[in-house]
Each structure stands twice: as C-alpha cells, then as structure tokens.
Amino acid sequence: MNATDQNGQDTGENGYDYVIVGGGTAGSVLAARLSEDPDCRVCVIEGGPSDVGDERVLRLRNWINLLESEYDYGYTTTEQPRGNSHIVHSRARVLGGCSSHNTLISFLPFPQDLDEWVGMGCAGWDPMTVLPYRRRLRNTIVPVGEEDRNPIARDFVTAAAEALHVPVVEDFNRRPFADGAGFFSLAYDPATNTRSSASVAYLHPVMDKRPNLTLKLRTWAYRLESDEAGRLTRVRVRYADGTTGTVRAERELLLCAGAVDTPRLLLLSGIGPADDLAALGIDVRADLPGVGENLLDHPESVIVWETHEPLPPNSAMDSDAGLFVRRDTAQPRPDLMWHFYQVPFTVNTERLGYPTPPHGVCMTPNVPRARSVGRLWLRSADPAAHPALDFRYFTDPEGYDERTIVDGLRLAREVADTAPLRGWLKREIAPGPGVTSDAELSEYGRRVAHTVYHPAGTCRMGAADDPTAVVDPLLRLRGQEGVRVVDASVFPSMPSINPMVTVLLVAERAADLITGRPGPQPEGGER
C-alpha cells in the first residue's frame, strides 16, 4: 500500500483495519497514533489535496486568503431573523482540515468546561482524565513570538488591562484564568511563520515512512454501507476523476469529517431523524433524532476604528492578541472574549453601508458560551447538495447572547479610549460614536455578527439513557457496532475558548479508547 495516494483511486474494494473518514484535525491524530502499530492497516479518506509543500496553506499569516477559496467547502447559513444571514461557514478542504485553514489560536479547555461535559452524561471526560493528554500533543504551541508582536497589539494589551482592571497574561495555557489580556498562544513556528497544524505535526513526519498508512486524497465520502452481517463497514467514495469505489473497515470505521460533514454523512446513510429522512426518500437505517441537532458556535460581532497611519507590518496572523473578562464574578471562567485584529475586518459592515478605512483595527466581542442552539439538516437526498445550517443566532429566550454582544461593544470602546491604544486611533468607523443605546448597539451588533468558524455539537456525546445523544462516552455510534465519531461534533457543550486543542485532546483520548492503551497519568494541578 502506498503511504500517500494523491488521486485516491482504487480498483475494486480495498480493506483496512481502520478507515478514517476525514483527514482533518482529529483524523490526522488518529491516523498517526493508530499506524504506530506496523501490523495495523490504516486508511484516511480526505476530500481535499495534500498540504505538503503548499505555502498558501503552510504560511499561517495567509489564513484569511484561504476563506472561500478552492480549499473551502463554503457552507452558507439559513435566514437568521435576529442575526446575520450572510455568513459563510468555512470548512477546510485540505489535509489537516481546519487546523490547515484557521488562525491556530490554541487554548486548553477550562476544567469547568469538561466538568460540564461530565454533568451532561459524559463519564470519563473529566479534567483529571482529559487534560493530561496535553503532554502527548505533537504540535508546537507557543505564545506569539516577540518579533511578531506588533506595537499596536502591545498597546491594546496594555490599554485593556488598564481600562478593565484585568491582569496581563503571558501564557494563557500555563494555568486556568478567570480574565486577562495578552498575546495568544499559537500552533506555529515563530521563526518561519509555518503552521504546526495537525497534519504538519502528526502526519508529515510519518506519511512516507509507514507502508501501513494510506492517504486517499481528493477522495470524497458520501455514504456508509453495511456488510452481509448488517454491520456498517463500508464507505462509498468518489475519486478525483469522478469514478466511485468502496473502502472497507475490518475493525472500526472512524468518522472525523467535522461538525458539518459527519452528521451529513450519517444522514445520507439513513441514520438520523426517521421522519426527516423518509421525507427525502432516504431509507431509514436507524432513527437517531440527535443527528444534526445541538448545532453550536461562538458568535461574535465587530467594532472598527481607522488608525492615524498604516500599522507596522509585523504580525503572526493579524489577530495575535485578545482579552477576556468575567462579568459574573461568582463564576471561575470568563464570559466575554475579544479578538484584536490588526486589520479592519469589514466584510459585514460594508454590506450595511459603512466605509472601509484605508488602515485600521477592530475588536470582535465574542460569546464564549452562547445559549442559542441551532440545527443542521439535509435539503436533499443528493449527496452533492449542501446541508442547511441554522445556528439560530441570538434566539435564546433570555437574550443572554445579545446582552453579551452589547456589553462587549461598550467595553471595547472603553479600551479604545484608554492610553496607549487611544493614541493610534483616528475615529470609530462602525458602528460610529453616535450609536449608543442598548437597542441600537444590539441591532448593529447582531446584523454585523460573524462566526469564529467553530461549529460543534451535531453528534453529541451523552449517557446511554439520553435519547438525543448520538455517541456514548466511548465515542461509539449509538446502535451501530464498529463505528465511532471523533471530531467537534461530539461536544455536548461548547468549550469557552477556541476549540482546536480540545479536538486534539479528544482525538488523542480516542486513540486510547480504540486500542485499549492506558491514558497518561494525571499530575498535580491538572485542574
């Protein structure tokens, strides 16, 4: 078997011990870990091309140019009556998945995020079990390098700490924090601006050295099929030249296609809400009502300033610093976050008629634990048709998400009005200083709201007696032998912070669950 197969094509049916559908963040980890056993045959089915040697992908600062490019599946949202209906949810079409496509901001999940999972029926996902896997991660995760620390980002950190009375945090992953301002930790090499994505860290060192590892690139999985015994073991795929074939898993089938394409694949295979499937003419294999439900995200809005002059050019990826505050001091976790962009992010403000400054910055108030929950479903039985994504932004009955954005816009103005950041800023472009009431800020904030590209939760994990859980705490697909889901779709609730590292931890733990190997021993301070 070839370690890499650029075109993915086979004649007839190929069998492997493990078939991994999706060569993204989780799939890269599983492929590397399972293929450590030279007698274990592992196949990865990835719809996109390789990232090896592709500077457009490997150079971190180019991330924004990958959005809505040939590397992007470009899923749209349904009409959002209380939000922005024009959001394109970028999902990566390249080896490494979204870790080859995003900003690689890297946070460990808060212990309380994992405690919440346990409280939702996910035994074995407590902080003492999960957080020690940080020591197994192969990615290089470091705070933004000194040479990449733009002077205006430094002054943002200083002003934020002064204005909102929060500490300056040197390393957000050193210990859990309640609030703070600082430069993010990124999975990258500061000397070269090269990504330390899941593919770079886990697959590049081994992909040409392990004959038991096969990568079928530019190969799209569109349906799961059963064997003669009724067990789901086969994946129907379409190759780059348009021909189709079947790949067979002899031990387990591992679905790692992400929070959009994993539930989509299950639905196309007849696993999901029975009435919805029958209405589309799809034969129902299993009535599993939770597939596609519990669609989660981190919504955020934006406030834009023009600067007096162009900014110094150095940066890791133009959103290198951030701010966290805790409005509810009875809680140990922050409940408001901002990314600080060293470029004016105006894709949504322009549509409402706001001007685009020649040079500027913005802050993006973000809802760490949004209470609005959405849903994904199929529009058609045609595998090529994109699913419907309804995030139901800002629809939580108590208005918590909306209030969080309004508070975030107000606090952003306080930071902007504080030295030394204040000296850089010429004027507020959007929404403009005349927009001051709660109602005005809410209307603006919701209409220009965007996503941080963190869809999750659509095949959520839960206890055996939870009728809406799609997988059990061992990540096994309910009612199906030999199938597991390993990606952000299994999250029962959203981690408070950027979730890529949480996906890596889930995948590392999944490798042990699959093989029966013991996990790392906890150390003091894991909480």
Among 89, 101, 298, 454, the active-site one is: 454
Mean residue pLDDT of the chain comes to 96
Q: Evaluate whether residue 282 is within a structural domain.
A: yes
Q: Evaluate whether residue 494 is within a structural domain.
A: yes
Buried b (16+ CB within 10 A) or exposed e, 16-26: bbbbbbbbbbb
Identify the domain containing residue 50 by its residue range. 16-515
Q: Evaluate whether residue 280 is within a structural domain.
A: yes
Q: Look at residue 11 in the predicted model and tell me its pLDDT.
A: 42
Residue 215 burial (C-beta neighbours within 10 Å; 0-12, 13-18, 19+): buried
- Measure the CA–CA gap between 47 and 22, rounded to whole angstroms: 7
Q: Look at residue 179 in the predicted model and tell me its pLDDT.
A: 98
Q: Look at residue 523 in the predicted model and tell me its pLDDT.
A: 74
**Catalytic site includes residue 339:** no
Q: Evaluate whether residue 525 is within a structural domain.
A: no
Q: What is the pLDDT of residues 287-313, one digit of tens each?
A: 999 999 999 999 999 999 999 999 999
For range 79-108, the mean pLDDT: 97
Q: Evaluate whether residue 463 is within a structural domain.
A: yes
pLDDT score of 268 more than 70: yes
What does 190-252 look like in DSSP terms, one character per residue? TTTTEE--HIIIIITTTTTT-TTEEEETT-EEEEEEE-TTS-EEEEEEE-TTS-EEEEEEEEE
Residue for token pair 């490798």 = 511
Q: Look at residue 515 in the predicted model and tell me its pLDDT.
A: 97
For range 199-215, the mean pLDDT: 98
pLDDT score of 488 more than 70: yes
- Measure the CA–CA gap between 274 and 122, rounded to whole angstroms: 25
Q: At what angle do helices 400-416 and 438-447 cross, to 10 degrees?
A: 100
Of all residues in the chain, what percent carry a pLDDT higher than 70?
Answer: 97
Asked whether the bond before 420 is cis by omega within 30 degrees of 0, the reply is yes
Q: Evaluate whether residue 11 is within a structural domain.
A: no
Residue 229 burial (C-beta neighbours within 10 Å; 0-12, 13-18, 19+): exposed
Strands 88-89 and 75-76: antiparallel
For 445, list phi and psi in degrees, rounded to 5.
-60, -35
Q: What is the pTM of this model?
A: 0.96
pLDDT score of 13 more than 80: no
pLDDT score of 467 more than 50: yes
pLDDT score of 10 more than 90: no
1: confidence class by pLDDT, cuts 50, 70, 90: very low
State the DSSP H helix or E strand holding residue 47, giving kind and residue range, or none if neither: none
Contact 71, 93 (CB under 8 A): yes
* CA-based nearest residue to 192, from 140, 130, 243: 140
pLDDT score of 526 more than 70: no
5: confidence class by pLDDT, cuts 50, 70, 90: low
Contact 111, 127 (CB under 8 A): yes
Contact 136, 520 (CB under 8 A): yes
Q: Evaluate whether residue 445 is within a structural domain.
A: yes
Contact 51, 197 (CB under 8 A): yes
Asked whether the bond before 431 is cis by omega within 30 degrees of 0, the reply is yes
Q: What is the pLDDT of residues 130-183, one digit of tens each?
A: 999 999 999 999 999 999 999 999 999 999 999 999 999 999 999 999 999 999
31: confidence class by pLDDT, cuts 50, 70, 90: very high
- Cite the annotated binding site by residue number: 94
Domain count, the chain: 1
Q: Look at residue 522 in the predicted model and tell me its pLDDT.
A: 87
- Cite the annotated binding site for FAD by residue number: 94
For 190, list phi and psi in degrees, rounded to 5.
-60, -25
* CA-based nearest residue to 72, from 53, 57, 52, 55: 57
pLDDT score of 200 more than 90: yes
Q: Evaluate whether residue 6 is within a structural domain.
A: no
**Residue 115, helix vs strand vs coil:** helix
Q: Look at residue 14 in the predicted model and tell me its pLDDT.
A: 82
Q: What is the 3-state secondary structure (H, E, C) of 437-487?
A: CHHHHHHHHHHCCEECCCCECCCCECCCCCCCCCECCCCEECCCCCEEECC
Q: Which CATH number goes with the domain that contains 493?
A: 3.50.50.60
